[in-house]
Amino acid sequence: MPARRDNPYSNFNSRGLTGGTELYDWFNAIREGVLDRRDVRITLLDEARNPVYAWRLLRAWPTRYELGGLHALGNEVVVETLELAYESFDVD
């Protein structure tokens, strides 16, 4: 994994599991030593799914991946969480 600075910038992102493995695949590649930094855009949506605010993380990479609990008898949404470190950010 890329070295972390003493005060790394970081961001936690969570979403309901969609069935795709893109986030896990990116995290796993980093964990296996692949240097893969990406610019990431995070958009806050209102109730009607209209963009309200957006942030752009520059040269980001995943530092932690978590998958929420899987309960066979429950009906909760499974949530995946990705922590990203990044070099800088700006507001779109």
Give residue-wise pLDDT tens across range 14-66: 656 667 788 889 999 999 999 999 999 999 999 999 999 999 999 999 999 88
At residue 38, the pLDDT reads 94
Between these two residues, 10 and 7, which has the higher pLDDT value?
10
CA distance 33 to 10: 19
Beta-carbon contacts of 44 under 8 Å, excluding residues fewer than 6 positions away, are 51, 52, 53, 54
The pTM for the full model equals 0.72
At residue 7, the pLDDT reads 44
* Residue 1 falls inside a structural domain: no
* Residue 28 falls inside a structural domain: yes
* Residue 72 falls inside a structural domain: yes
Where in the sequence is the domain holding 25, given as residue range(s)? 10-91
Count how many domains the chain has.
1
Instruction: State how far Cα 40 lies from the chain centre.
Output: 9
* Residue 78 falls inside a structural domain: yes
As beta bridge partners, residue 41 has 56
Tokens in use for 25?
Answer: 């695949």
* Residue 44 falls inside a structural domain: yes
* Residue 14 falls inside a structural domain: yes
CA distance 35 to 2: 7
* Residue 2 falls inside a structural domain: no
Length of the chain: 92
